[in-house]
């Protein structure tokens, strides 16, 4: 009885923390406005992990985490076209909000074949509070035509201001 009550309480707590999110979408560069930097301690990007899935750049490894990640992103691919469509970059962004806010998570990046041209993708989280994980991908035709990512940054945007920032060393 106590275990059942604890399980129901945990399920209710987890469902209360989740917020509905809008689907990921590519932003036309004309609409990816430059946002002023106004960092806020209530919002934090805790970690950004980047994984490149391309056999041309993979090195042999015994690392179980990397082996698992390679298998995970290629799971379900049957034909060579399926494998080619899954080549590219996979970003996992862990972030948190101490207070409820309408947050947009945006990744901006440059591809080697496009020079200084900045691409962007974003996902909106209305009434976000607590810890969240957001996934972005640069795969398929976008990766095949654009090439490797040369620089990137992740922004947490609230009311048109960047309240959280995490960027690669080469971003300027």
- Residue 150 CB contacts under 8 Å (≥ 6 apart), including other chains: 110, 111, 112, 170
- Mean pLDDT computed over every residue of the chain: 86
* pLDDT at residue 32, as a whole number: 60
In whole angstroms, give the CA distance from residue 3 to residue 81. 48
Domain positions in the chain: 21-167
3-state helix, strand, coil in the chain (%, to 5): 25, 45, 30
**Residue 157, Cβ density class (10 Å: 0-12 exposed, 13-18 middle, ≥19 buried):** buried
- Residue of 152, 33, 44, 150 whose CA lies nearest to 91: 152
**Does residue 164 carry a pLDDT above 80?**
yes
* pLDDT at residue 35, as a whole number: 85
Question: Which residues does residue 43 pair with via DSSP β-bridges, in sequence order?
Answer: 97
* pLDDT at residue 8, as a whole number: 42
CATH of domain 21-167: 2.60.40
Q: Write out pLDDT tens, residues 82-112.
A: 999 999 999 999 999 999 999 999 999 999 9
In whole angstroms, give the CA distance from residue 10 to residue 12. 5
Q: Write out pLDDT tens, residues 30-68.
A: 456 788 888 999 999 999 999 999 999 988 889 999 899
- The reply to whether the predicted model has a pTM over 0.85 is no
CA angle 100, 104, 109 (to 5 degrees): 145
């Amino acid at each position: 009885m106590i275990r059942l009550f604890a399980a129901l309480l945990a399920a209710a707590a987890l469902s209360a923390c989740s917020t509905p999110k809008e689907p990921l979408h590519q932003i036309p560069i004309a609409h990816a406005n430059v946002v002023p930097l106004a960092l806020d301690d209530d919002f934090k990007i805790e970690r950004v992990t980047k994984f490149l899935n391309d056999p041309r750049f993979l090195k042999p490894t015994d690392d179980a985490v990397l082996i698992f990640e390679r298998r995970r992103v290629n799971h379900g691919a049957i034909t060579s076209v399926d494998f080619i469509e899954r080549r590219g970059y996979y970003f996992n962004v862990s972030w948190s909000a101490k207070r409820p806010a309408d947050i947009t998570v945006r990744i901006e990046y440059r591809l080697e074949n496009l020079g200084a041209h900045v691409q962007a993708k974003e996902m909106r989280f209305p009434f976000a509070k607590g810890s969240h994980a957001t996934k972005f991908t640069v795969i398929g035709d976008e990766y095949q035509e654009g090439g490797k990512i040369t620089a990137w940054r992740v922004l947490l945007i609230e009311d048109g201001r960047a309240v959280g920032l995490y960027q690669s060393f080469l971003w300027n």
